[in-house]
Structure 1
Amino acid sequence: MWKEFKEFAFKKGNFIDLAVAVVIGTAFSSIVSSFVDNIIMPLVGMLIGGIDITDLKIHVGDAEVLYGTFLQEILDFFIIAFSIFFVIRFFNRFKRKEEPVEEAVEEKLEPTEQLLTEIRDLLQEQNNKA
């Protein structure tokens, strides 16, 4: 089992790739969250009359239901997902351009196969003339 785990984790770089993706994703998430909190939401607040969406709450007895914070997190998620979509789309465009175009390779027939193919073609010509 240990051998299989080592192959999984280190053979193709799965473990390393995953670690790098988590670190970059976390950094990217904090950048987008800052963008949403400090730029997008103040502008949205101005458009809807100065309301800070994170302060929205409902009092139920002694409890406070902070649905504004939940709405903020949903908005953050969609903006992060949208941003990641565009980053991946951007990188995929370059990836497609770098991939070599596979040319159609003609299969070389062995001499006997080539001879049989020529005989077949000659017979078809004779049948068409007759």
Structure 2
Amino acid sequence: MAGVIQEFKEFAVKGNVVDMAIGIIIGASFTTIVKSLVDDIFMPIVGLLTGGVDFTDFFITLKGAGEYPTLAAARAAGAVTINLGLFINACIAFLIVAWIMFMVVKAMNRLQRKAEAGTADVPPPRQEVLLEEIRDALVRNSTRP
């Protein structure tokens, strides 16, 4: 049991776990920003272009007595609804996050290719070449009888 605990401690304090935790926290914050962007900026514009349709209140009542003017009213009355507007908002938010993440990964890949291309053309320092030659000469001399 002590070995498992020690192994878990080593896993938990590695940089990858900390990096992942930071990524999750930043991702949660980023999701809040994207949700606000979709709900507060994009959807009012889409609603205006579609003649004042508010997608938040775009729903289908499956079970419940009467018509409900808003989703909040339907929920308050205990009606069973399919919330198409909320689903559309979620899809738009996903597309925005996916596009931004694609652009971030694309930029990181471009920077990585530039860094790899820059280091591939640089010859090793003269001291390193001389040390390699000395090493190779010592290996050749040590294998001779």
What's the TM-score once normalised by structure 2's chain length?
Answer: 0.63
Aligned residues between the structures: 109
Larger Rg: 1
CA distance in 2, matches of 1:61, 1:26: 34
Instruction: Give the unaligned 5+ runs of structure 2.
Output: 65-79, 138-145
Q: CA deviation at 1:18?
A: 1.2
Coordinate RMSD, CA, aligned: 2.5
Percent pairwise identity? 40
Task: Output one character per residue of 1:40-86: Cα deviation in whole Å (capped at 9) or x when no partner.
Answer: 11111111111111111112231222221122112211111111221
CA distance in structure 2 between the aligned counterparts of 1:81 and 1:2, rounded to whole angstroms: 38
Rounded Cα–Cα distance in structure 1 between residues aligned with 2:35 and 2:100: 11
Q: Greater relative contact order: 1 or 2 (C-alpha under 8 angstroms, separation 6 or more)?
A: 2
The more displaced of 42-51 and 98-107 is: 98-107
Written as runs of structure 1 = structure 2, the 5 A alignment for 1:11-90 is 11=14, 13-62=15-64, 63-90=80-107
Deviates more, 1:89-98 or 1:50-59: 89-98
Moved more, 24-33 or 94-103: 94-103
User: Which ranges of structure 1 fall in alignment gaps of 5 or more residues?
Assistant: 112-130
TM, length-normalised to structure 1:
0.69
Q: Shift of residue 88 of structure 1?
A: 2.7
- Aligned-partner Cα distance in 1 for 2:114–2:29: 28
